[in-house]
Amino acid sequence: MNEELLRKHLRVIPDYPKKGIMFQDVSTLFKDAECLKELKNELVRLYADKGITKVVGVESRGFVLGSILAAELGAGFVMARKPGKLPANTIRAKYRKEYGFDSIEVHADAINEDDVLLLHDDLLATGGSMQAVYDLCSHFHPKKIYINFIFELNMEGLEGLKNLGPDKDVTVLMKISE
């Protein structure tokens, strides 16, 4: 994987969404065809032989590569969304993130016990949103759950991998340090 290419296209926005946060904007990776292809190819390489039946993309940047990856793997795609965004019956989990609290939902009929899941999001910070998605998906008792992030923020006080725990199968493509 061409980390130099990806790092060159990652945009950092200071004080967003609130003062003191250095927001890592992956939209600049998605708008570049070469970066998008690089990310897709690496993710397909990592998960092609895992028997993935559904990819769960976490709102909203997890939808971009999550849906591409689902198509490439011949899997279905499930959206994990903020409350009120999914039209049918949902289940919900509340979580803490680095700058407040939020909730996430999935459709109550989105996953079943025969599924092998890949949960995908762009960025691992505290791990709060992914832990909530993991908990929601575990509710369905799938065969296996994999977790993937494009980037991990390797900064003091976040400890996302540690917060997710050693019992989860987590892959991070790149680490970002202060």
Residue in 61, 81, 105, 152 annotated catalytic = 61
Amino acid making up residue 19: K
Distance CA 143, CA 166 (A): 18
* Domains of the chain with CATH codes: 49-177 (3.40.50.2020)
Q: What is the pLDDT of residue 70?
A: 98
From 59, 72, 96, 98, active-site residue: 98
Task: Supply 81's token pair.
Answer: 């969304």
Q: What is the pLDDT of residues 16-41, one digit of tens each?
A: 988 888 888 999 999 999 999 999 99
Q: What is the pLDDT of residue 167?
A: 94
Q: What is the pTM of this model?
A: 0.94
Residue 61 annotated as catalytic: yes
Told to judge if 105 belongs to the known catalytic residues of this protein, a careful annotator would answer no
Question: When comparing pLDDT for 160 and 63, which is higher?
Answer: 63
Instruction: Check whether 177 has a pLDDT greater than 90.
Output: no
Q: Could you give the percent of the chain with pLDDT greater than 70?
A: 98
Q: Are 82 and 105 in contact (CB under 8 A)?
A: yes
The DSSP code sequence of the chain is --HHHHHHH-EEEET-SSTT-EEEETHHHHTSHHHHHHHHHHHHHHHTTTT--EEEEETTTHHHHHHHHHHHHT-EEEEEB-TT-SSS-EEEEEEEETTEEEEEEEETTS--TT-EEEEEEEEESSSHHHHHHHHHHHTT--SEEEEEEEEEEE-TTT-HHHHH-TTSEEEEEEEEE-
Angle at Cα 144 formed by Cα 47 and Cα 95, nearest 5°? 100
Whether residue 65 has pLDDT greater than 80:
yes
State pLDDT tens for residues 117-131: 999 999 998 898 999
pLDDT in tens, 89-112: 999 999 876 667 889 999 999 999
